[in-house]
Structure 1
Amino acid sequence: MKDDLLKTKEGTSAQRGEPVSIKGQSENGSMGSLMDVPEETPAAMARFLLDRKVGNVWILSPGIECSYADHLIIGEVENERHRDSVMDAFDQRFTKRGEPFFYEKGPIWSLMDFGDVVIHLFLSAGRRLYRLEDLFPSSPLWVLSDAGHFALKNPEDRHAPNDGENYLSIPEPNRL
């Protein structure tokens, strides 16, 4: 398998504006389709968060269960300064010039709204308090490892960050 998760048909999907299939490996080794999304979202956004030292990055894909977004990306920032620098970097990287950038900042929870993708940035206390992944327990949830690989988390294997379980203990796949 290829290392990158973004699979395209002939040519580049970004040039044609077509969706690409993002594949990942579940904890039991089976392959599954994460979602069909434009190339920039949400896998590229999740990896961008990882590059900006955001921890515990998850992609939740509730589909029709969620009326306001197709994908939620959840991550933990170290402090408000870290959050602000991540949000500024996202503004520069993922918004078109002159296009409004929708966001909300709170003391422990901030979000960025990109239409079909909403990014939630938490301080660790906020992540444990709100547990957004519990709002959509049957939805696919993908964890991005520190090495940049996605792994599917089964509903029974989901644990909130810092709840005593090492919820990021995912096996490194052979090569996604």
Structure 2
Amino acid sequence: MTIEEMSQAVCKAASDKKARDIVVMDMRELSPSTDYFVVCSANTATQVRAIADSIEEQLQEAGVDFFHKEGYREGEWVLLDYGDVVAHVFMQEAREYYALEQLWGDAKLSVYED
């Protein structure tokens, strides 16, 4: 699986659980640690965890395991680190507060369309 296919698989898995505002941030020119961020929003902590579970399950079925997971218990912001692709699943308020799209404003953004 290429990193582009992996980022699209993350997007699809998030979309399957009704994630909102899914964007892919191209980090290749900005970060030595990852190539893409996939950022999405959810309404509740339960939905954040369901989206994270969907991403984890669908990538695991494709033979890809994450390196690190953070924030699952709290459910406000779950980070799944797949090395070249990092998924960020936020409750809307946390997404607005941390504003990754603004923090990494030089990243090229593409909006995921299902």
Structure with higher Rg: it is 1
Length-normalised TM-score, structure 2? 0.82
1:83 — aligned with what? 48
Deviation at 1:100, TM superposition (A): 5.8
Instruction: Give the count of matched residue pairs.
Output: 110
Deviation at 1:125, TM superposition (A): 0.6
| AA at the equivalent of 2:70 | E
Taking only the aligned residue pairs, the percentage that are identical comes to 22
Instruction: State the alpha-carbon separation in 1 of the partners of residues 4 and 11 from structure 2.
Output: 13
* Alpha-carbon contact 2:48-2:77 (below 8 Å) kept: no
2:89 — aligned with what? 121
Confirm whether residue 51 of structure 1 aligns to residue 19 of structure 2: no
SS of the counterpart of 2:24?
Answer: strand
Flag the 1:118–1:81 CA change in 2: closer, same or farther, 3 A: same
| AA at the equivalent of 2:45 | E
What RMSD over aligned residues (CA atoms) do the two structures have, in Å?
Answer: 2.1
Unaligned residue ranges in structure 2 (runs of 5+)? none
* Alpha-carbon contact 1:75-1:121 (below 8 Å) kept: yes
Structure in which a larger fraction of residues adopt helix:
2
SS of the counterpart of 2:86?
Answer: strand
2:37 — aligned with what? 72
The structure 1 residue matched to 2:111, chosen from 129, 135, 143, is 143
Flag the 1:124–1:108 CA change in 2: closer, same or farther, 3 A: same
| AA at the equivalent of 1:139 | A
Instruction: State the alpha-carbon separation in 2 of the partners of residues 94 and 43 from structure 1.
Output: 11
Deviation at 1:107, TM superposition (A): 4.8
Instruction: State the alpha-carbon separation in 2 of the partners of residues 82 and 107 from structure 1.
Output: 8
Post-superposition Cα deviations, 1:33-67, rounded to whole Å, max 9, x if no partner, equal: xxxx353x112221221121011100000213112
2:70 — aligned with what? 104
| AA at the equivalent of 1:45 | V
Length-normalised TM-score, structure 1? 0.56
Flag the 1:61–1:43 CA change in 2: closer, same or farther, 3 A: same
Deviating beyond 4 angstroms after TM superposition, the runs of 4 or more aligned structure 1 residues are none
| AA at the equivalent of 1:103 | K
